[in-house]
Structure 1
Amino acid sequence: MEKEKEFYPVGALDEFLVQIGRVVEAGGRQIAVFRLSDGRVFAALNKNPHPKGGPLAEGIVSGHYLYDPLYDWKIDLTTGLVQAPDTGRAEMVPVKVEDGQVWIAAGALQPQ
Structure 2
Amino acid sequence: MEKTMRKVFIGKYSELPERLGKTVIFGDQEIAVFKLTSGKIKAIENRCPHRGGSLAEGMVSGDHVFCPLHDWKVSVIDGLVQAPDEGCVQTFDVEVTDDQVYVFIND
Aligned to 2:41: 41
2:21–2:34 CA contact under 8 A, matched in 1: yes
The runs of 5 or more residues in structure 2 that have no matched partner are none
The aligned residue for residue 11 of structure 1 is: 11
How many Å separate the matches in 2 of 1:79 and 1:28? 21
Segment drifting more, 66-75 vs 35-44: 66-75
Offset from partner CA, 1:39-93 (integer Å, 9 cap, x none): 111111211111x212110110011111112111111111100000000001111
**Are the aligned partners of 2:55 and 2:66 in contact in 1 as well (CA < 8 Å)?**
no
Distance 1:58 1:22 in 2: 8
**Aligned equivalent of 2:59:** 60
Report sequence identity in percent: 40
Is 2:23 aligned against 1:26?
Answer: no
Structure-1-length-normalised TM-score: 0.85
Aligned partner of 1:103 in structure 2 is 102
For 1:61 and 1:3, how far apart are their aligned partners in 2?
A: 31
* Aligned residues between the structures: 105
The structure carrying a bigger strand percent of its residues is 2
Distance 2:97 2:59 in 1: 25
In the aligned structure 2, how far is the partner of 1:88 from the partner of 1:27? Answer: 24
State the alpha-carbon separation in 1 of the partners of residues 55 and 68 from structure 2: 9
Moved over 6 A (4+): none
1:92 aligned partner, one-letter code:
T
Distance, in Å, in 1 between the alignment partners of 2:88 and 2:105 is 21
Other-structure match for 1:94 = 93
